A and B are shown apart, each in its own frame.
Chain A
Amino acid sequence: MEPTKEIVYTYFAGHATSVQKKIIGEWLNRPDAREQFFQWLDEWERSHPQYTPDSVAVLERLRQRFDDPAPATSPFRQLYRAEPSFRTGWRWQWAAAVVIPVLVAAGLYLTQDWWNYRTITTNAQQLRTVTLPDGSTVALNSQSTLRVPRWGYGLLSRRVQFRGEAVFSVRHLPDHQPFVVQTPEGVNVEVLGTEFSVSNRRTSTEVVLKKGKVKLAYRSAQQVQENLIMKPGDWVQLDQKGTLKLRQQTDSLKFAGWRYRHFVFNSTPLPEVFRQMREVFGVTVHCNDPELARRTLTGTIRAGSSDELAEALAELLDLRVTHANQTLVFSPNTDKITNQ
């Protein structure tokens, strides 16, 4: 049975009954129906248009595309340049409200070392003497790292983290506040006011007490927390397993001999001397007389700090030295010149 054109039109408009649809379905199974179907569809579409497009403009664009088959922009892509959604806009703001604090927190967490600690490091040549806020000093040997808390140092306790080799000269505070040196291995050297050295290199930790009294807290080979009270002259070595060796070190001259360095100069121009001073002790050296730059120095000087070396230089070369913070200034000794 063949549907009439009117029935097919009704069907196109979406008003066909189920019986009409069945008839159309059966009809479409016939081979010649397809052409008829599309012919009627075309006619129906022309007599019931949804709208009339601007075919002239589109044809013009199509001709350009024929002439210049440039990489065709996909219709899907150009059409879906999606409008900024207010909803997703809010979503962005929500996301930002969550993500930014998380990023800030992560940033703070990752940089917490910098925020929490002032870190002083010495390289292979350097010696440094650091004065802590409470007036205690730490003389660092080369390749050592000292981390001093930026916040709360001296408020309740004085704790520093340390790796390498150093001599600590700890000031005794009126409130008997302890000073604690922590090593990465968990050895704590707790003192009240004294002078001692700590050497914490790759294999072991050594503590030598020069004067006063220190308490050494460490984890023994049996993983038990142990305390040891050291007397002056005591030398203690702790290896990585927690085995402890104690010895009375009588030769106090040997105490932290590394603190002294021999500077050997042989007709060395003063700028080079100053450069070595800068290099080893990390101080800034100024010389405000160009005349001085032409002078040279010969001799061997044993010095444990920039001040010691500066005084020796001043004496040898008859100069005046002033120092503020980490800056040394050399100037000709004017008094003596006028006396001469």
Chain B
Amino acid sequence: MSANTFPFRPPGPGTPVSNPSAESSATATYDHELFIRKAFEQDARQGCEQLFRLYFAPLCSHAVRFVYNRQVAEDLVADLFYHFYADRQYERVTGSYRAYLYQAVRNRAFNFIRWELGRQGTDEPDVNEPDQESGQPDQLLLQDELYQTLERAVQELSPQRQRIFIMSRFDGKSYKEIAGELALSPKTVENHLLRALSSVRAALRRSNLLGLIVILLAALR
């Protein structure tokens, strides 16, 4: 299905997703919200697809700040859109779709790191539960603090280790591929990765962010 068949095609040149600079004005996105809301009234699926075209790229970019893995980020966001449509979550959106989606992606990304770094138990996080809108300002600040702490921890890694960390996590390359590109042994690559992960973990433990957010989430329930 091509974009031209959409009954309410978003204004602006090109598709908004492939050309993010076109979305830089606040009024443009606000107008999009109106168009998409109308699209949802007519056909929820069309609305959902429009929403996807508009927000998938920036949401992925935002999720990567938390999970440092493009595959995870894209899967998290795609999964969010799937449940947004399949579980008719769009009916429960009170504010803007934008705020809802960003909040949900943050919650999912946060749950993912908690699951990954904690690995407590084998239970996977319940990904659908956190999609509810929780307008707690403290939580927003803590989530910002979390991705900023993560980024600082990654920046503090030695250049080589940082490079290996990003190649492995963000690009999803295997030890062998990285070892081949950097002319290292796969075992060295693995050592770098394990140390990088433990540095990040230690940084999070120092700031105690995960713990704080866990407590906060528990208190909100």
Contact = CB atoms under 8 A, between A and B. Distances in A.
Interface string A1-44: 00000000001101000000100110011000111011101110
A83 interface: yes
A226 B15 CA distance: 104
B70 A75 contact: no
Contacts of A253: none
Interface in B94-126: 95-96, 98-99, 102-103, 112, 115-116, 124-125
Contacts of B72: 75, 79
A66 B85 contact: yes
A14 B151 contact: yes
A76 B124 contact: yes
A58 B190 contact: no
B60 interface: yes
Given A66-B45, A66-B85, A86 B99 contact: no
B69 A55 contact: no
Given A35-B95, A39-B26, A46-B23, A53 B85 contact: no
A76 B79 CA distance: 11
A79 B152 CA distance: 24
Nearest to B152: A14
Contact of A61 (B26, B78, B144): B78
Q: Which of A46, A61, A74 has the most CB of B within 10 A?
A: A46
A78 interface: yes
Contact of B99 (A38, A43, A47, A66): A38
Given A75-B79, A79-B71, A51 B64 contact: yes
Nearest to B149: A14
B20 A47 contact: yes
A69 interface: yes
Q: Tell me if A's interface is mostly helix, strand, loop or mixed.
A: helix
Nearest to B174: A83
B165 interface: no
Nearest to A37: B140
Contacts of A33: 137
Contact of B190 (A49, A50, A52, A86): A86
Interface of B: 1, 17-18, 20-21, 23-24, 26, 29-30, 45, 48-49, 52-53, 55-62, 64-65, 69-79, 81-82, 85-86, 95-96, 98-99, 102-103, 112, 115-116, 124-125, 127, 135, 137, 140-141, 144, 148, 151-152, 170, 174-175, 186-187, 190, 194
Interface of A: 11-12, 14, 21, 24-25, 28-29, 33-35, 37-39, 41-43, 45-47, 49-53, 55, 58-59, 61-63, 65-66, 69, 72, 74-80, 83, 85-87
17 contacts: A14-B151, A25-B137, A29-B137, A43-B24, A46-B21, A46-B24, A49-B20, A49-B61, A51-B170, A52-B18, A59-B53, A66-B82, A66-B86, A72-B82, A74-B127, A76-B112, A76-B115
